Amino acid sequence: MLTCDAAVVGGGVVGAAIAYGLAGLKLDTVLIDEGDVAFRAARGNFGLVWVQSKGIGCPPYANLTRGSADHWLSLAEELNEVAGVDVAYSRQGGVHLCLGEAEFSERAALMKQLEAETQGDFKYEMLNYRALAEMLPGLGPDVTGGSYSVLDGHANPLFLLRGLHAGFRKRAGRALLNAPVRSIRPHAGVFNVQAGNETVQARKVVLAAGLANAKLGPEVGLEVPVHPLRGQILVSEKVRSFLRIPTLHVRQTAEGSVLMGDSHEDVGFDDGTRPDIMAEIARRATRAFPFLSSARIVRAWGALRVMTPDGIPIYAQSESCPGAFCVATHSGITLAASHAFDLPRSIAAGSLPAELDAFGTGRFDVH
Ligand SMILES: Cc1cc2nc3c(=O)[nH]c(=O)nc-3n(C[C@H](O)[C@H](O)[C@H](O)COP(=O)(O)OP(=O)(O)OC[C@H]3O[C@@H](n4cnc5c(N)ncnc54)[C@H](O)[C@@H]3O)c2cc1C
């Protein structure tokens, strides 16, 4: 039996960030992961640290996103220092490109709403084609304009995952890999977590198992209504450096390849790819940047987002089993700084702060 202060179930980007933070607070922490058989959004995402458009209609989510993005540089620097991993973070703004007047007006209305809901703290500009073309060389004539926010950024999500795991180990965290959690039994103020052939006894348990939270939540009295929503991404060969700042659907990595995304498909637990969807993604990307039509696609994948019914993250502590927490979000890269810095302090203290009240699972109760 392994005993510890905290067991984190799920070694994706969410669980790894929380475990890294808990270990930094000197909690003896065990990070448990199922291994390669699982659906893992953390390995298939686009790498944006995105503020514009997150939390429209839900100011607490907009504030949470903004707070995390504002601490991202500290996280990147810390991971470099603690783990020796450069996560290739850059914050020089980001652009949501609009193809056609209808998209542009719809976007302008959404940005106005977000600005009003965040009391003017949200910085953005609606830019026409001309202004954007100066910022984004190679922009195609089909682009009408777009929204630009200086608050957005991007990073290499795989390096982030590696950095969090390496940092966790450097902080004396213990990882239990290839160990699927089958049951969690609360007993006399501790949780007995059955993981593979091992039992982990922990004073606190954090469910961060992505889509598997739906199955594991009831073990500790939590209903976690998450469902998969597939996104497909195409990756080009390395091309000349042309895109200094990311756009929502096209971003260039530090190495030179171009990521093109993404789709929103309700196809259950199918993480495959489909030629018609890939063609649509490529069409949109080449309308935005026509020269990409001569770049070769070298990789493509589908990955499943961890979606809640209202698209807003879940942060909850169980009422029937205090000490058991659950986190689920489809914005795990953007929120990584909040998960590594703020959330672990609350978990260690044993209660979630009032700022997270809007994210509880009670909002899904049907009366
Ligand atoms: C196409 C796409 C693009 C995206 N783009 C962005 C983006 O640009 N910016 C952004 O912020 N977010 C983005 N996301 C979302 C982001 O990737 C997710 O929020 C994040 O990966 C969720 O992380 P997670 O750790 O909760 O889940 P996962 O990555 O799914 O990890 C869950 C982990 O739990 C483990 N697990 C599951 N069941 C068990 C069990 N029973 N026992 C032990 N371990 C278990 C699995 O092995 C897995 O490692 C994107 C997602 C997709 C799909």
Position 9 scores a pLDDT of 98
Q: Is the CB of 11 inside a 6 Å radius of any atom of ligand 1?
A: yes
The residue-averaged pLDDT of 83-89 equals: 97
| The pair of three-digit structure tokens given for residue 99, joined into one six-digit string | 């193809």
Q: Which residues of 54-72 are buried (b: 16+ CB within 10 A; e: fewer)?
A: bbbebebbbbbbbbbbebb
What band does 38 get if pLDDT is binned at 50, 70 and 90?
A: low
Position 183 scores a pLDDT of 97
Residue nearest atom 21 in ligand 1 by C-alpha distance: 42
25 pLDDT higher than 90:
yes
Ligand 1 center to 224 CA (angstroms): 15
Q: Rounded to a whole number, what is the largest CA-CA distance in the chain? A: 66
Ligand 1 center to 19 CA (angstroms): 15
* pLDDT tens-digit map of 247-285: 999 999 999 999 999 899 999 999 999 999 999 999 999
What band does 228 get if pLDDT is binned at 50, 70 and 90?
A: very high
Using CB atoms within 10 Å of the CB of residue 272, give its burial: 0 to 12 exposed, 13 to 18 middle, 19+ buried: exposed
If we measure between CA atoms, which residue out of 119, 21, 80, 6 comes closest to residue 339?
21
Q: Is the CB of 51 inside a 6 Å radius of any atom of ligand 1?
A: no
What band does 44 get if pLDDT is binned at 50, 70 and 90?
A: confident
What band does 121 get if pLDDT is binned at 50, 70 and 90?
A: confident
Structure-token match 């458009």, residue found:
53
CATH superfamily placement of domain 2-79+157-225+310-364: FAD/NAD(P)-binding domain (3.50.50.60)
Instruction: Provide the β-strand partners of residue 259.
Output: 235, 251
Counting runs of H as helices and runs of E as strands, what totals does the chain give?
Answer: 8, 17
The residue-averaged pLDDT of 231-244 equals: 95
pTM: 0.97
Position 366 scores a pLDDT of 63
- Domains of the chain by residue range: 2-79+157-225+310-364, 94-150, 227-307
Ligand 1 center to 45 CA (angstroms): 8
CATH superfamily placement of domain 227-307: D-Amino Acid Oxidase, subunit A, domain 2 (3.30.9.10)
Residue nearest atom 25 in ligand 1 by C-alpha distance: 12
Ligand 1 center to 120 CA (angstroms): 32
The 10 Å Cβ neighbour count of residue 28 is 16
